[in-house]
């Protein structure tokens, strides 16, 4: 759901071209079939960020059918690669087929499993980490994401404003969405107050956070706040 006025959203979507070529066809097919890939305004934002950053190594959490990893692979430095994580078997099969069809197997390494477990097993340093999986997990996986991110690297976290609900008091949130509401609020507090991150939050798509890592830090500060 867009966070901005419908007319403006429709105008911007019409204005900004979709991805071209075979990856663009996968983008359109995914929209047509209702696969929850990133909207085109987020595609454009990531395109600009990666053009500036020129990453060698990207970690993606939430691969789905492999659209965003395929798209991001065209911004890698020579010899660079993407590690992407997906836990849902139906998506894994589609992603594998798409990555193979697009001849990107040498650039994209798909790890099958739950990010909560997989992240702990990784021992690499990434220039960019794209968080695009279950938003209720973002606060839980943030320490591992932080560990795996280089100083000077960036986190791009998608879908963080819950259609604007993050800003509402808990009484206005339906009960089944309260846990995600608390967790997203904790995540947003942490990334905007943690000394090791310089963060901007944009109302593009359903909200995107961009965090620049300035230094290493030990643990999350929200936990210290809760304990004191
Ligand atoms: C929004 S989709 C990703 C879209 C993809 N990044 C794109 O734009 O092309 C989120 C994906 O994350 C996966 N996912 C959710 N929680 C996960 C977890 N804990 N570990 C691994 N994958 C997860 C879902 O199965 C789903 O396919």
Mutational test site, ligand 1, from 31, 134, 135, 139, max ligand atoms within 8 Å of CB: 134
Domain count, the chain: 1
CA of 193 to the centre of ligand 1 (A): 26
pLDDT value, residue 182 = 93
217, pLDDT greater than 90: no
Query: To the nearest whole percent, how much of the chain has pLDDT over 90?
Result: 81
pLDDT value, residue 228 = 62
Dump pLDDT digits (tens) for 94-121. Answer: 999 999 999 999 999 999 999 999 999 9
pLDDT value, residue 85 = 98
The C-alpha atoms of residue 155 and residue 135 are separated, in whole angstroms, by 14
pLDDT value, residue 174 = 86
Token code pair at residue 145: 């994401």
Domain that holds residue 135: 6-214+222-227
Q: At what angle do helices 6-15 and 40-53 cross, to 10 degrees?
A: 50
pLDDT value, residue 221 = 83
pLDDT value, residue 196 = 96
Ligand 1 atom closest to residue 159's alpha carbon, by position in its atom list: 1
> Does any ligand 1 atom lie closer than 6 A to the CB of residue 38?
yes
pLDDT value, residue 227 = 64
3-state SS string over the chain?
CCCCCHHHHHHHHHHCCCCCHHHHHHHHHHHHHCCCCCCHHHHHHHHHHHHHHCCCEEEEECCCCCHHHHHHHCCCCCCCEEEEEECCHHHHHHHHHHHHHCCCCCCEEEEECCHHHHHHHCCCCEEEEEECCCHHHHHHHHHHHHHHEEEEEEEEEECCCHHHHHHCCHHHCCHHHHHHHHHHHHHHHHHHHCCCEEEEEECCCCCEEEEEECCCCCCCHHHHHHHC
Q: Worst-scoring range by mean pLDDT, 139-143, 200-204, 214-218?
A: 214-218
The C-alpha atoms of residue 199 and residue 212 are separated, in whole angstroms, by 6
12, pLDDT greater than 90: no
Cβ atoms of 64 and 70 closer than 8 Å: no
197, pLDDT greater than 70: yes
pTM of the shown model: 0.95
Dump pLDDT digits (tens) for 154-195. Answer: 999 999 998 888 999 888 888 888 899 999 999 999 999 999
CATH number, residue 83: 3.40.50.150
CA of 115 to the centre of ligand 1 (A): 9
CA of 227 to the centre of ligand 1 (A): 32
Cβ atoms of 198 and 214 closer than 8 Å: yes
133 domain-assigned: yes
pLDDT value, residue 224 = 73
146 domain-assigned: yes
The C-alpha atoms of residue 99 and residue 109 are separated, in whole angstroms, by 9
- For residue 47, CA distances in Å to 15, 71, 210 come to 16, 9, 13
11 domain-assigned: yes
Query: To the nearest whole percent, how much of the chain has pLDDT over 70?
Result: 97
Cβ atoms of 124 and 57 closer than 8 Å: yes
pLDDT value, residue 70 = 98
The C-alpha atoms of residue 39 and residue 163 are separated, in whole angstroms, by 14
Dump pLDDT digits (tens) for 16-64. Answer: 999 999 999 999 999 999 999 999 999 999 999 999 999 999 999 999 9
User: What is the dihedral angle through the alpha carbons of 50, 44, 60, 148, rounded to the nearest 10 degrees?
Assistant: 40
> Does any ligand 1 atom lie closer than 6 A to the CB of residue 205?
no
pLDDT value, residue 93 = 98
189 domain-assigned: yes
């Amino acid at each position: 759901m867009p966070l901005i006025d419908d007319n403006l959203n429709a105008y911007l979507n019409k204005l900004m071209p979709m991805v071209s070529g075979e990856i663009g066809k996968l983008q359109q097919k995914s929209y047509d079939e209702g696969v929850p890939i990133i909207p085109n305004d987020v595609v454009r934002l990531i395109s600009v960020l990666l053009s500036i950053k020129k990453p060698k190594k990207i970690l993606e959490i939430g691969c789905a059918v492999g659209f965003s990893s395929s798209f991001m692979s065209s911004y890698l430095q020579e010899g660079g690669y993407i590690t992407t994580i997906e836990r849902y078997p139906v998506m894994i099969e589609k992603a594998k087929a798409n990555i193979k069809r697009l001849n990107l197997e040498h650039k994209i390494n798909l790890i099958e499993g739950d990010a909560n477990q997989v992240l702990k097993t990784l021992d690499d340093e990434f220039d960019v980490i794209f968080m695009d999986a279950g938003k209720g997990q973002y606060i839980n996986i943030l320490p591992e994401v932080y560990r795996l991110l280089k100083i000077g690297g960036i986190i791009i976290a998608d879908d963080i404003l819950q259609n604007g609900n993050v800003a509402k008091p808990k009484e206005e949130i339906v009960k089944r969405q309260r846990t995600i509401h608390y967790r997203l609020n904790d995540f947003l507090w942490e990334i905007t107050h943690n000394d090791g991150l310089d963060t901007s939050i944009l109302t593009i798509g359903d909200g995107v956070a961009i965090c620049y890592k300035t230094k290493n830090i030990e643990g999350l500060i929200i936990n210290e706040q809760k304990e004191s």
